[in-house]
A and B are shown apart, each in its own frame.
Chain A
Amino acid sequence: MPITVLMPALSPTMEKGNLAKWVKKEGDKISAGDVIAEIETDKATMEVEAVDEGTLGKILVAAGTPDVAVNTPIAMILTDGEDAAALKAGVVDAATAAPAASSASQPAPAEATPSAPPAAAAQADARPKIPAEPFAADVTPWPQAEVAPETPEGTEFEPMTVREALRNAMAEEMRRDPDIFVMGEEVAEYQGAYKVTQGMLQEFGTRRVVDTPITEHAFAGLGVGAALAGLRPIVEFMTFNFAMQAIDQIINSAAKTRYKSGGQMSCPIVFRGPNGAAARVAAQHSQDFSAWYSHVPGLKVIAPYSAADAKGLLKSAIRDPNPIVFLENEILYGHSFDVPKLDDYLVPIGRARIAREGTDVTIVSWSIGMTYALSAAEELAKLGIEAEVIDLRTLRPMDSEAIIASVRKTNRCVVVEQCWPQSGVGAEVSARIMENAFDYLDAPVARISGKDVPMPYAANLEGLALPSVAEVIAAARAVAYR
Chain B
Amino acid sequence: MTMAVQKKAAEVPKRAQPAPSSIVPVDASPVPELGKGADLAAFREMLLIRRFEEKAGQLYGMGLIGGFCHLYIGQEAVVVGMQMASKDGDQVITGYRDHGHMLACGMDPKGVMAELTGRRGGYSKGKGGSMHMFSREKNFFGGHGIVGAQVSLGTGIAFANSYRDNGQVCLTYFGDGAANQGQVYESFNMAALWKLPVLYIIENNRYAMGTSVTRASAQPDLSKRGASFNIPGELVDGMDVRAVKAAGDRALAWCREGNGPYILEMKTYRYRGHSMSDPAKYRTREEVEKVRVESDPIEQSRARILANKWVGEDELKAMDAEVRKDVNDAAEFATYDPEPDPSELFTDVLI
Instruction: Determine if A262 and B153 form an interchain contact, defined as CB atoms under 8 angstroms apart.
Output: no
Instruction: Determine if B124 and A261 form an interchain contact, defined as CB atoms under 8 angstroms apart.
Output: yes
Q: Which listed residue, A181, A221, A260, A321, touches B128 by the CB 8 Å rule? A: A260
Q: Which residues of chain A have C-beta atoms less than 8 A from B276's C-beta?
A: none
Instruction: Determine if B159 and A222 form an interchain contact, defined as CB atoms under 8 angstroms apart.
Output: yes
Instruction: Determine if B348 and A217 form an interchain contact, defined as CB atoms under 8 angstroms apart.
Output: no
- Is B190 located at the chain interface by the 8 A CB criterion? yes
A67-B177 Cα distance, complex, nearest whole Å: 56
Interface window among B32-40, B54-62, B140-148: B140-148
Instruction: Determine if A215 and B189 form an interchain contact, defined as CB atoms under 8 angstroms apart.
Output: yes
Q: Which listed residue, B135, B160, B187, touches A218 by the CB 8 Å rule? A: B187
Residue pairs across A and B with CB atoms within 8 Å: the count is 141
A226-B190 Cα distance, complex, nearest whole Å: 13
Q: Which residues of chain A have C-beta atoms less than 8 A from B149's C-beta?
A: 221, 248-249, 252-253
Q: Which residues of chain A have C-beta atoms less than 8 A from B347's C-beta?
A: 263
Instruction: Determine if A322 and B351 form an interchain contact, defined as CB atoms under 8 angstroms apart.
Output: yes
A253-B141 Cα distance, complex, nearest whole Å: 11
A window 242-266: CB within 8 A of B: 248-249, 252-253, 257-266
Instruction: Determine if B132 and A260 form an interchain contact, defined as CB atoms under 8 angstroms apart.
Output: yes
Max chain A Cβ within 10 angstroms of own Cβ: one of B128, B170, B189:
B128
Instruction: Determine if B127 and A222 form an interchain contact, defined as CB atoms under 8 angstroms apart.
Output: no
Q: Which residues of chain A have C-beta atoms less than 8 A from B93's C-beta?
A: 225
B window 130-162: CB within 8 A of A: 132-136, 141-146, 149, 151-161
- Is B307 located at the chain interface by the 8 A CB criterion? no
- Is B108 located at the chain interface by the 8 A CB criterion? no
Q: Of all chain A residues, which has the CB nearest B137?
A: A264
Q: Which listed residue, A207, A224, A227, A263, touches B125 by the CB 8 Å rule? A: A263
Q: Shortest distance in angstroms between B27's beta carbon and chain A's nearest beta carbon?
A: 33
Max chain A Cβ within 10 angstroms of own Cβ: one of B135, B159, B347:
B159
A122-B18 Cα distance, complex, nearest whole Å: 49
A231-B160 Cα distance, complex, nearest whole Å: 7
Q: Of all chain A residues, which has the CB nearest B93?
A: A225
Instruction: Determine if A300 and B159 form an interchain contact, defined as CB atoms under 8 angstroms apart.
Output: no
B window 182-231: CB within 8 A of A: 182-183, 186-187, 189-190, 193
Q: Of all chain A residues, which has the CB nearest B166?
A: A229
Q: Shortest distance in angstroms between A50's beta carbon and chain B's nearest beta carbon?
A: 42
Assess A258 versus B350: contact at CB under 8 Å? Given A226-B163, A231-B163, A253-B153.
Answer: yes
Q: Of all chain A residues, which has the CB nearest B127?
A: A262
Assess A258 versus B132: contact at CB under 8 Å? Given A221-B155, A248-B149, A253-B153.
Answer: no
Mask for A467-479, Cβ within 8 A of B = 1, else 0? 0000000000000
Assess A219 versus B190: contact at CB under 8 Å? Given A253-B144, A253-B153.
Answer: yes
Q: Shortest distance in angstroms between A319's beta carbon and chain B's nearest beta carbon?
A: 12
Q: Which residues of A contact B (CB under 8 A)?
A: 181, 207, 212-213, 215, 217-231, 248-249, 252-253, 257-266, 297-298, 300, 321-322
List 10 A–B pairs whose Cβ atoms lie within 8 Å, in order of A's numbering: A215-B190, A217-B186, A218-B187, A218-B190, A225-B157, A228-B153, A253-B144, A261-B123, A261-B124, A261-B132
Top 6 A-B residue pairs of the complex, sorted by shortest distance between their CB atoms: A225-B156, A221-B152, A218-B186, A262-B125, A229-B160, A262-B124
